[in-house]
Amino acid sequence: MAIKGKSKPKSKPRSAPRAPRREVVEVPTPFFLRRWVQVAGALILGILLTMFVVWVGNGLHADSVKNQKKAAAAALTAKQAKQRVAVQTWKGTVDTAIAKIGMPPQGPGNPAVFTALTSAVQGLTQGNAPAGTAKTLNDAETNAQAAHDALMAVAVAKTIISGKGFDVAAANYLLNSQTKMALGLDLYREAAAVGATALAASGTQRTDVATEASNLLASAAATFNEGWSDLQQAEGGAGIPVTQIPASGGIPGLTGGS
């Protein structure tokens, strides 16, 4: 009887070898999703936004300042127009008053007023009394009072200055022009009266009294011309062309008419 040999177990089919394991590869983060890019972008955006806000703010401020300047310029122009009219009105009153006693200057200098009175008093200081001296003295006294009254009839503070926007300096020039010219006219009137007293006297008494009248004339001229200078200062401040602002205290010429 034959002995069967053991049969070899059937080997299982070999499976295909596995592919080598690959390492996990991280997918790169998109550029704009990277943290540092976002932080840098936010910073740059913030800077740009700030610059834009500042630019807009500066533009609005510049426009506001420009509009304010335009409004201020318009208001200043309107104010200067009011002041110019006011000063010209007062100047017209002064010119009318001066017409009673002389004439305003045609160029640089002070008004030529009471020149005939000045000549008459000078003559009296030398003992001379030509014909017509009495009339000259009497007319000068009358005209000085009339010119004084014409100036003082105007309420400068109320009708010329009030509501026109004058600053303190300009207002003082206007007020002083009235006060000083009126005071000067009072002194001219007094000088004429003293001159009449000198005319009635004789000898050394006449010359002594006439010298007193001459001194009054010098004070009158200095005071009146200071007022005239203040008026011209007010004219210049209001934008009115002035030929020349004379120095205070000048004395008008000693030749000429009234």
Range list of β-strands (E), the chain: 102-103, 112-113
Q: How many C-beta atoms surround the C-beta of residue 88 within 10 A?
A: 12
User: Does residue 206 lie within any of the structural domains?
Assistant: yes
User: Does residue 164 lie within any of the structural domains?
Assistant: yes
With a cut of 70, list the residues of the chain below it in pLDDT.
Answer: 1-27, 31-32, 63-76, 107-108, 242-258
User: Does residue 229 lie within any of the structural domains?
Assistant: yes
**Could you give the number of structural domains in the chain?**
1
User: Does residue 183 lie within any of the structural domains?
Assistant: yes
Enclosing domain of residue 138: 83-102+113-237
User: Does residue 130 lie within any of the structural domains?
Assistant: yes
Rounded CA separation 75/4 (Å): 135
Question: 128 is written with which tokens?
Answer: 């001379």
User: Does residue 165 lie within any of the structural domains?
Assistant: yes
15, 17, 21, 22 alpha-carbon torsion, rounded to 10°: -120
User: Does residue 73 lie within any of the structural domains?
Assistant: no
Task: Write down the pTM of the prediction.
Answer: 0.67
